[in-house]
Chain A
Amino acid sequence: MPDLHATAERRQHIEKRWLAAFESSAIGIAMADLAGRFLEANSVFRNMLGYTESELYQLNYLDVTYEEDRNTNLELARELVEGKRQHFQIEKRYCRKDGTLVWVRNNVALVPGTGGVAPLLFAVIEDITRRKEEESARRYTEEKYRLIVETAPDAVICVDESSTILLTNPASTRVFGYDPAELIGKPLTILMPEFLRKLHEAGFKRYLATGQRHINWQGTELTGLRKNGQEFPVEVSFGELIKDGHPVFTGFIRDISERKQAEEIQKQAQKAIQTMHAELARVSRFTTMGELAASIAHEVNQPLTAVNNNSNACLRLLANQNLQPDVLRGALEEIVADGMRASAIIARIRAFIKKEPVGKNRLDVNQVIGEVLTMTGHGFEENRIVLKSELAQSLPPVLGDRVQLQQVLLNLIMNGTEAMSMVTDRPRLLCVQSRIDESSDVLIAVCDSGTGLGLEADRVFDPFFTTKVNGMGMGLSISRSLIEGHGGRLWATPNSPHGAVFSFTLPVAGGSPS
């Protein structure tokens, strides 16, 4: 026979325990009648909504449910009441007393009536506001990335660890010519020309096995293969993501055909300009040499004339039987001397235009200046020009092409000479200087007392600009590029009180003297 007293005591004990559990639960618990009016609610739930107990028990659960969620909630509750389901779960929003919203997940069950106790709705309510916010943020981020990938001008392709394509973006279609459906599930090698496939497979395997990357993952230039069989240059970057313990690789593939084409065109244009410049430099060299030819012709002509005269004198004396040994010997000695003189001039010209080994050698600037001045010497006398050379002693050698430096110097000296051809009211003074400048470069200056540059100072280095009647306008432009080719500068400044100064610098040759 049951101990009634003990049983009642035990029931009381259980009720107390349940009540305590109900009240101190970490989760919201509420009960409502089948019409929806709150009967009981624990403090977690009351706090969730901000109502007191008495306020809450005046309300129907629909009163505190957010408008948009009411119908769904009502429908589910009806089904529950009608016995169509045992319980339901809903994620919905409550309106707090202060008007703000709280996201909750409700698990609602129908508790059937027993012995005078009416059936009721039993709900366990979890505040999921934080999770909802996180979800929303994640959705936003995902949406953002999706948008970026879909609108990216580069093809974005994801592959799995077997190098099978998982996903492509619209740009992939544009770049490779395949629809996404044609790519997904296919090996990535479908987008590569034959010669790259084996390399890719080997590299991919090696990476999976060892983690060693065999190419740069940021911007490697490779070759792609379009659906139409056309190969084209691409620039590829990779990213790796571990999903459920498996790596997913995302490749960003940029079609760089146009860039490559532009680079190629630019390269060719550059080459064409270089060729043209070299050709012009050659032409200009011949022009300069041509200008020199007159001076050389005169120099060689002098001894030849003397040889002719003396020879003819001897022939005449012999024909006249006028055999004065002193006279004949004098004539013959002079013939020999003039023959030597002519060959010395020719040797000098040879030395001047001799072929130096191609490229730059260690040169003594003063020596180069001396060579050029020897060649132009006669022109100075003829034009009544006073030549002054102020050359710094013991200059360090420069690294240069002898012929090119001679050409630049000749050009500057001839320009200076021409600039003074109309000067009659002052001395025609040409000064050639060499020294070390402030930057420790070797500086060479050619100063004249000619007409000066005036307003044209800035333009004299422009190609095809000339102040001379027969000038081609290339001399200074070419000279400047030759000097720049030596790592130096060439510029013009006014001379005081008259004329112009053309200066150029050459870097000192490094290393030990050879």
Chain B
Amino acid sequence: MTGAPVVFVVDDDPSVRSSLKRLISTVGLQVESFESADTFLQRKPPDAPSCLVLDVRLRGLSGLDFQRELAARNIRIPIVFITGHGDIPMTVKAMKAGAIEFLTKPFRDQDLLDAVRIALERDQSRHEQEKELTDVKQRFNSLTPREQEVISMVVSGMLNKQIADQLGTAENTVKVHRSRAMEKMHAQSVAELVKMIEKLKNSSEKTP
């Protein structure tokens, strides 16, 4: 996750598409444009913060259908909708489904660029969170089974002695496992370790 942010523009109108690309490029952002939802889906997800500027009315899959489709595929890219004429129910639907902004053509350039900036920031922080989680996961996976066992018991609030009793081993052995696991997890304190394990639990609950 080190690449520069990318803005994806999906609009079936070539001149709108091209003008959007040019406008967004003026603030130094990288822009890729697509004429349909399908062509966008064929592109590999970038290893960088990104967002989608999406026309509601598209040939084939409509913008709102596309938003649903992305959610179903667990692609959580922030979306800025643009539309020729948006009615209130359509706007509400898009915003409820997590859209960043819903702009009616022709829109003020600053409104679009602001929305894009917010979308990228949100994606950036989401990426950071995801990266952190991946790190924790990786570190946790690097523990031996015994270390994982010990850590789980520590996080649940057991004392070293209780752990040793339950595992049928010496208290000193438990201490060694515990300190090595803390080190591997880059945890400065038990409190920090508890937070890390909570995160892991939450993420595994979300994606079983």
Contact = CB atoms under 8 A, between A and B. Distances in A.
Interface stretch (B22-30, B68-76, B141-149, B164-172): B22-30
B15 interface: yes
The SS class assigned to the B binding surface is: loop
B106 A298 contact: no
Of A294, A301, A302, A310, chain B has the most CB atoms within 10 Å of the CB of A302
Interface in A217-263: none
Contacts, number: 76
A337 B18 CA distance: 12
A297 B85 contact: yes
A320 interface: yes
A317 B26 contact: yes
A25 to B, nearest CB: 122
Given A334-B18, A381-B59, A313 B105 contact: no
B109 A309 contact: yes
A330 B23 CA distance: 12
Interface residues of B, number: 22
B84 interface: yes
Contacts of A381: 59
Contact of A294 (B82, B85, B105): B85
A12 interface: no
Interface in B22-72: 22-23, 25-27, 57, 59-60, 62
A304 to B, nearest CB: 5
B6 to A, nearest CB: 18
A301 B84 CA distance: 6
Given A298-B85, A301-B105, A316-B27, A309 B19 contact: yes
A309 B16 contact: yes
Given A302-B13, A304-B105, A313 B85 contact: no
A327 B84 contact: no
B37 to A, nearest CB: 13
The SS class assigned to the A binding surface is: helix
Nearest to B82: A305
Interface string B169-194: 00000000000000000000000000
Given A297-B85, A298-B85, A334 B15 contact: yes
Contacts of B22: 309-310, 313, 327, 330-331, 334
Given A297-B84, A297-B85, A302 B26 contact: no
Contacts of B84: 297-298, 301-302
Closest 6 CB pairs of A and B: A309-B19, A298-B84, A312-B109, A306-B15, A316-B26, A306-B19
Interface of B: 13, 15-16, 18-20, 22-23, 25-27, 57, 59-60, 62, 82, 84-85, 105-107, 109
20 contacts: A298-B57, A301-B84, A301-B85, A301-B105, A302-B13, A302-B15, A302-B16, A303-B15, A304-B106, A305-B105, A308-B106, A309-B16, A309-B20, A310-B23, A313-B23, A313-B25, A322-B26, A334-B15, A334-B18, A334-B22
